[in-house]
Amino acid sequence: MGDEGVIGLAGRRVVLTGASRGIGRACALRLAGGGARILAVARGGEALDALAGEAAELPGRIVPYPGDVTDETGAEALAEEAGKRLGGVDALVNNAGAAVFREIEALSPENFDATLAVCLKAPYLLTRSLAPLLEESGGDVINISSIAAVDGFSGGAAYCAAKAGLEGLSRALVQELRPRGIRVTILRPGATATRMWEGIPGEFDASKMIPPGVVAESLEYVLTLSREAWTETLVLYPPGGKV
């Protein structure tokens, strides 16, 4: 069989949110290692600068973009900046995540709204703003979901709702954007060893979780998958099952 439609990472132009730590940081370094140019988005400018410095010797390049993209103005400004700094966009990776983990009576409307703003509203706004650039390139949208989208847990009402909503949004966009040549994929990792677990009540063994670098490896697979086949949902599980 030939390799028609196969696309490598070299020269790919990627917008990546939540890039300063955890899964996002691992993804940024993995993609830069393959020669991609990444507009790395997060709220913390110092962490982004450190990330860019760490990638200085890699084949690709990380361009820091500190900012908040949970409102329309911020998303539109990012899309304009991505066009200028990268010269176009081949992929949008909606990875940024934030959550307040509280039982329902202690979960304020502000807590709920803040979680949905980062995990659901921002991906909607960024996809909306970047769709013209992605159509030009025949690009990808990869939405980093969570096993919480399909497997709830106590204290996770806001986060589970946000990730379930993200998957619903993604499935609609799979159909809507396909005729425009934009491929939409859900990447749904199980328990992953990130700092988010520090906010969840209970004790967890990080050694049994998926390392962030493995999620990054899976992102690279999605981005380099032949255009002859589209994967709607890629699910990752820890080797030992649920944590």
Amino acid letter, residue 84? K
**What residues contact 174, with CB distance under 8 A and at least 6 apart?**
184, 232
Helix (H, G, I), strand (E, B) or coil at 37: strand
Sign of the alpha-carbon torsion through 17, 23, 25, 27 = negative
CB-neighbour burial class of residue 228 (10 A; exposed 0-12, middle 13-18, buried 19+): exposed
Cα–Cα distances in angstroms (integers) from residue 133 to residues 82, 103, 228, 229, in the given order: 9, 41, 21, 22
- The CA distances from residue 216 to 77, 91, 187, 206, 233, in Å, are 26, 14, 10, 17, 15
Q: Where are the beta strands (DSSP E) in the chain?
A: 13-17, 37-42, 61-66, 91-94, 140-144, 183-189, 233-236
Q: Rounded distance, CA 211 to CA 27, Å?
A: 11
DSSP 94-110: E---------GGG--HH
Which among 167, 170, 201 has a CA at the least distance from the CA of 184? 170
Per this entry, what is the length of the chain? 243
- Per the annotation, the verdict on 159 as an active-site residue is yes
Active-site residue list:
159
